[in-house]
Structure 1
Amino acid sequence: MLPTALGHAPDPTPTSSPSQMVGQRYSLREAVGSGGMGTVWRSHDELLRRDVAIKEVVIPPGVPSKERELLCERMLREARAAAALNHPAVVSIFDVVTDLGRPWIVMELLDARSIADIIKDDGPLPVRDVVEIGLAVLGALDTAHNAGVLHRDVKPGNILITTPGRVVLTDFGAARSPNDTPLTSTGLLLGSPQYIAPERARGRPFGPASDLFSLGSSLYAAVEGRPPFDRGDPMNTMTAVVCDPPDDMLRAGALAPILASLLAKAPEDRWDLQRTQAELTALLSENSGAHNTASETAPGKAVALRGSSSYREAVSKERVNQRIVARDVSPGVPRRHRASSGVSDAGSRRSASVRRGTRRQPTQFEQTSITSVSEQTNSGNTSGRHRRIAANAAERRAAKQERRDRTRNSSWRHREHKSGVRLWLVLTALLLALVGAAFAVNYASASDAPTAATGTPTTGTTATGTP
């Protein structure tokens, strides 16, 4: 069923309720989500007898007629943009109907949680899961960009992970296609301040690199548990997006250089989509071991959800790989700090046995794993990444030292200024005291002069006196 033309601006949105029929075909069951512009309903297709999701545009009361037209046009644009894309990481659109004077988008029903909900409920995600999510979303963006569609609102709330582990990019309401006319409305910002690209925040031309910046911010939030530029309110946050570097990454590990490249301020300085895919695939292969192939890391690959048996198995395997890699490629990390770098408790037990004089022999599994990691290191697969990590660490140390020097110089100049002010006050006080003393002496001399002129002359002062 094709949407009918909207001949007039729709009336303010009435309240929808369960059991309501939409388009004489879809029965609303329950609301499963809501946002600033719409509500998503779990519904049932009475014709095909299947469950679907229907997105309803919600227009707040008091919105002008022209503004309501723009909101409905954005809803239709979302349907057209998503329907034009065929990728497992893009939600499928089934139908668009017009009922009660506004459009309703009928799409596939997903049993999923957004990354924003996962971060809120379970905390930051492991690096491996974030890499797999990034590859899946990159596949969706690649398909969209090749079709001339820019998403313009990539954020954790629009990236869903289904129960089977499928990654889906949703909400193309802010998307822009080449044949679309620009939609402008007073007071509406297309995109989220925490994840918007700097060029878009400054009102400058933008392109596919803007979606990559938003993806980098979303992956940063997934692995760190917080946005890279959050300052509390939208204005300060957008100022930080334009002017400030991202907050320090504490959990990203080997993913940090990739995120830093995606979060570059200038679009021309960011990695393009193909290079980002290649780097994430290489990082995933390194973390998975030499037996993983590129086909296993294709975009759209399932990601295990927290709490499931597959998730626990993946986490266990990742921890084993991190322990082995950390022992081999992090020799400069002091042993007392290696717990945060992924070194296992076995390493501590081994060092304790060495101190006691009884060295434990590695098991066959450990020996095989160490040999595999050594072969990867000898073949040069990880040397480049280690040099990048070392260079980034050196840059951070240099920047920190530079900040310390600036603070030290500033405090020293402040002390010198205070000392100079004190010296000036002392000299001024002395000068005033000298001026006062001189004035007092001159005043005293002026007072004694008339007395000396009119006084009685002495005996020896007259020339004609009696001898």
Structure 2
Amino acid sequence: MTQSSKQTPLPAGYRLAEYTIVRQLSVGGFSVVYLALDDEDRKFAIKEYLPRNLAERNVNDEVTVPLELDRDAFNLGLKCFFEEGRVLSGISHPTVVRVSNFFRANHTVYMVMEYADGRSLGKELELAGGKMPERQIRKWFAALLSGLREVHSQRLLHLDIKPANIYLRRNGVPLLLDFGAARQTLSRNAKHFAAMYTPGFAAPEQYEKDQPLGPWTDIYAIGACLYVCMGGATPPGARERGERDRLVPASQAFRHQYSRELTELCDRCLALPPNDRPATVLEVQKCLQQTEYSSPERPAAGEGNRLVGWIRGLTGGRHGKGTE
């Protein structure tokens, strides 16, 4: 994402309470995240509330709202951001990012989180050639959903689960990052924030103000992540699917590589009507924790040759070295 000039990051060396900014880690539609050190040289990630469509930074490094008409929306997002930090600070789970501090400064709010060494699931997929073994998918997502259950028990939703927000520590334990209470609140109160959703991972109800959100909303995103981890492209956006659903079901696309139980679970999670999805995160987790499941279907005679021919037709007969 291209950074707006309004989201000018705090400079390296800037003192923020008892922390020193080292560098910017990332920027999103409503926040900037920094790597910082405390006075004992421990690393932290600090998220700054700075919605690019509402606010900007002045020469004194303060966050200001240029248009008074945007003041109420900014304050609402600020309140939700602060509440999100308060709730997360009370959750101690190995797969949920830990919030150790949150405070006000520069006319905005900062959330201090653990800094974990590792890489995103998106990067891991890229290095793995675009798909993961079923055993690994089940292990990572079952662990992740354990943390998500804890989050939901605190009446907090994530609302932006995607491979870029699933981090894999060096020890292999997944970590759920970048919760979106403030982003979601702004998105549902102003049309120009709709782009803050992640197309393909956002559930249909996230685009509608009158549709309730709940655990089923995060379950849709989990389904989209499972689809991508099995080798699929990011699913079409929910609105596009609602008009004409071109998504090839996982149970059809990946039946030769993954078990029927996993592909059918993915399809249920990606159901457009919320009532057709698994009722709870626990239900999804239990499916993933099954130790006995069917083997992938074997291709029918000649089916593999037809598939190769179809792929060659799409690529004009070019040959290249692929990865498994």
Shorter-chain TM-score bucket reads: 0.7 to 0.9
Q: Matches of 1:70 and 1:63 in 2, distance apart?
A: 16
- Could you tell me how far 1:77 is from its partner in structure 2? 3.0
Cα distance between partner residues in 1 of 2:123 and 2:83: 26
Query: Is 2:18 the partner of 1:21?
Result: no
Q: Report the CA distance between 1:212 and its aligned residue.
A: 0.7
Q: Does 1:102 align with 2:95?
A: no
* Alignment of 1:196 onto 2:202: yes
Are residues 199 and 38 of structure 1, via their aligned partners in 2, closer, same or farther at CA, if it must alter by over 3 Å? closer
Listed one character per residue, the Cα deviations across residues 69-105 of structure 1 (whole Å, up to 9, x for unaligned) are: 3443343133123223222110000111222211111
- CA shift for structure 1 position 225: 4.3
SS at match of 2:289: helix
Aligned to 2:96: 90
- The aligned amino acid for 1:35 is G
CA, structure 1 residues 138+15, in 2 after alignment: closer, same or farther (shift >3 Å)?
closer
Query: Residues of 2 paired with 1:174 and 1:99: CA distance?
Result: 20
More strand by share: 2
Aligned match of 1:31 = 24
Match of 1:280 in 2: 288
**CA offsets 1:170-195 (integer angstroms, 9 cap, x no match):** 11232799xx9997344223632321
Distance 2:148 2:160 in 1: 12
Post-superposition offset of 1:43:
1.1
TM-score, length-scaled by structure 1: 0.53
Map 1:32-431 to 2 at 5 A: 32-46=25-39, 48-60=40-52, 61=56, 64=67, 65-66=70-71, 67-122=73-128, 123-174=130-181, 184-189=189-194, 191-203=197-209, 204-230=211-237, 238-241=239-242, 243-244=244-245, 246-249=247-250, 250-251=253-254, 253-254=258-259, 255-272=262-279, 273-282=281-290, 285-286=291-292, 330=298, 333-334=300-301, 337=304
- 2:9, 2:32 within 8 Å by CA — same for their partners in 1? no
Give the superposition deviation at 1:160: 1.0
For 2:105 and 2:20, the matched residues in 1 are separated by: 13
| Separation in 2, partners of 1:131, 1:15 | 38
How far is 1:14 from its partner?
A: 5.6
Q: 1:281 to 1:13 in 2, by over 3 A?
A: closer
Native 8 Å contact 2:188 2:207 kept in 1 = no
- For residues 120 and 187 of structure 1, the distance between their equivalents in structure 2, rounded to whole angstroms, comes to 32
In structure 2, do the counterparts of structure 1 residues 75 and 206 end up closer, same or farther at CA, with 3 Å as the change threshold? closer
Deviation at 1:121, TM superposition (A): 4.9
2:235 aligns to what SS in structure 1?
coil
Equivalences, count: 277
What residue ranges of structure 2 are gaps of 5+ in the alignment?
A: 1-5, 57-64, 308-324
Contact 2:7 2:32 in 1 (8 A): no
Q: Distance in 2 between matches of 1:143 and 1:115?
A: 21
Higher relative contact order (CA 8 A, sep 6+): 2
**2-side partners of 1:201 and 1:242: how far apart?**
14
Q: Is this contact kept in 2: 1:70–1:185, CA < 8 A?
A: no
- Checking the alignment, whether the CA contact within 8 Å between 1:152 and 1:211 is kept in structure 2 is yes
What root-mean-square deviation, in Å, do the aligned CA atoms of Structure 1 and Structure 2 show?
3.2
After superposition, what is the alpha-carbon deviation per residue over 1:158-213, rounded to whole angstroms, capped at 9, x for unaligned? Answer: 11111111111111232799xx9997344223632321112333442232111111
Residue type of the alignment partner of 1:271: P
- Does the C-alpha gap of structure 1 residues 222 and 19 become closer, same or farther in structure 2, counting only changes over 3 Å? same
Q: Which amino acid aligns with 2:284?
A: T
CA distance in 2, matches of 1:71, 1:181: 6
Q: Indicate conservation of the 8 Å contact 1:29/1:43, yes or no.
A: yes
Other structure's SS at 2:103 match:
strand
Matched residue type, 2:124: I
Q: Hey, which of these two has a bigger chunk of helix by percent? A: 1
Cα distance, 1:45 vs. partner? Answer: 0.8
Distance 1:185 1:337, change over 3 A: closer
Q: Structure 1 residue 135: deviation in Å?
A: 0.8
CA 1:226 to 1:147, structure 2 compared with 1: closer, same or farther past 3 Å?
A: same
Rounded Cα–Cα distance in structure 1 between residues aligned with 2:136 and 2:226: 10
The corresponding residue for 1:417 is: none
**Maintained 8 Å contact 2:186/2:193:** no
Tell me if the contact between 1:40 and 1:53 (Cα under 8 Å) persists in the aligned partners.
yes
Match of 1:22, as an amino acid? L
The letter of the residue matching 1:174 is A
Could you say what secondary structure the match of 2:43 adopts?
A: strand
One-letter amino acid matched to 1:18: A
Q: Is the Cα–Cα contact under 8 Å of residues 137 and 168 in structure 1 kept in the other structure?
A: yes
Instruction: Provide the secondary structure at the position in 2 that maps to 1:188.
Output: helix
Change (3 A) 1:101 1:117: same
Q: Structure 1 residues 92, 276: CA separation in 2 closer, same or farther (over 3 Å shift)?
A: same
Q: Closer, same or farther in 2 for the Cα pair 1:116/1:127, shift >3 Å?
A: same
Is the CA contact (8 Å cut-off) linking 1:152 and 1:175 kept in structure 2? no
